[in-house]
Structure 1
């Protein structure tokens, strides 16, 4: 375990948007799943040392990130953002060597991610979306990180390019923290996953079990919203337009299973091999 969040609350301008999150980056890849605005990217920013917690701690190799040596941290933990994060003024070679300052290593890094070294002099606008994403990955790999924090690394790519990028990520030695709303991607790359809703972790556990038999109604809604080839169109569960509740269970205004008990906030508890913050988890499992 390299990174751990312990009771972390995060916010902007004094307003909390992520609440009391505790999780480890464990072996085999960790996924953060949730809709836009759920707090995934905010949590990733904190794990990268770009956002200081309002409360709680983030530790790096057992040391508080605020006091850990940032030079070692920056080498061990690298972000992989979407392809649009490349500086349009910089060549491929300059972008890849930006962190390590080792231009001699650029051809080998390009070959590692499946890029022709002959593209080194090109700029981002001269590359395809898949090629740009490979440049972003090569840039992160240049410092030989122990952990990659990937923020929707395949969202702007077509299906065939996505498949090649996922194959590349699977073959890397570095551990992964993956931020995504794509359940197929997280199932392929992550052994463990955490589902976020309105800045709170509502379900955590082994990715395969969590997606096959959700124990929280929000996880179930996310899974059932994914179209299946040859299957019926997705059916919305509950009031999908409702805003998160400010008191009690944040999902209760959307939840089709909500009862008066849900007006009190559920504590995370062990249910069927994972942690779930839901009063009615057993009913969801039996659905």
Structure 2
């Protein structure tokens, strides 16, 4: 099956009113999948909204294939929104509580098929994501969390997208249901030729679904590269802190690294107030992204992080 065109952000700056919240971010979402990792407030969802065409950039470009997303005509915009679909964190909030599940899924089919054909298409979509088509007549509150999330995915697939923007798609689910949803996403990628942008703080999820990952802190990408490299040998202290915060079965409880409550610094390196390696240069000079061992990293002391120095 043909793979999706690449969805690209180039030097993207985003703001709410006069306040910039995402600063000079570049990334590409292709067939290998891209992960966007960071804590709450890091700018991940704001960046996703821009990539979906819901937020206009203050600076930079968003392209899908060769098309500039910010300059699409009305008809072209409709095609783009069908091609690049969101899957939100909470299926209970993403689905209209008054609308039956089958009707929600069929919204993207209205006008394209006759009623009987729509019912058959809805049943096929539901079966394709592991939902019993008999559930089409139920409302969202009558389904489990995992069933609602499958319904949201089926609704997104109804318009035959090429890219799915997955915003914390498993965080509201228990561990066993998370595993089933990940199995589903992995299978659908192969069956439909989908590309994924996966927004998460769960490092195990990106390891499974994304060839490349980008770590965001305070609206900036601080490290980018092959997912396996970032998780096994981080080059930025923040990436290292995120990795070390993951509990391990049979291991000791994770320990916080640095001052986890400190807010981003307004000058110099934004992470310096929380960084155990911060020195005077970090107060005076904001690090620029640079190439290092197959990844891009914005840290003055990245070589020491790679070498295992903690402070």
Please classify the TM superposition score into its range, dividing by the shorter chain length. Answer: over 0.9
Q: CA RMSD in A?
A: 0.9
The answer as to 2:36 corresponding to 1:32 is: yes
Distance 1:15 1:53 in 2: 12
* Aligned residue-pair number: 287
The answer as to 2:25 corresponding to 1:4 is: no
The answer as to 2:108 corresponding to 1:92 is: no
**Larger relative helix fraction:** 2
Query: Which residue pairs with 1:271 in the alignment?
Result: 292
The answer as to 2:69 corresponding to 1:71 is: no
The answer as to 2:234 corresponding to 1:188 is: no
Distance 1:54 1:67 in 2: 14
Distance 2:207 2:78 in 1: 32
Query: Which residue pairs with 2:87 in the alignment?
Result: 80
Distance 2:213 2:234 in 1: 12
User: SS at 1:98's partner residue?
Assistant: helix
TM-score of the pair, normalised by structure 1: 0.98
The answer as to 2:257 corresponding to 1:237 is: yes
- CA shift for structure 1 position 100: 2.3
Query: Which residue pairs with 1:280 in the alignment?
Result: 301
Gaps in structure 1 of 5+ consecutive residues: none
Distance 1:240 1:126 in 2: 40
Deviation >6 Å, runs of 4+: none
- CA shift for structure 1 position 26: 2.2
Query: Which residue pairs with 2:20 in the alignment?
Result: 16
Query: Which residue pairs with 2:129 in the alignment?
Result: 113
Distance 1:275 1:41 in 2: 22
- CA shift for structure 1 position 236: 1.0
State the Cα deviation string for residues 193-224 of structure 1 (Å, max 9, x = none): 00000000000000011100000000000000
- CA shift for structure 1 position 142: 0.5
TM-score of the pair, normalised by structure 2: 0.91
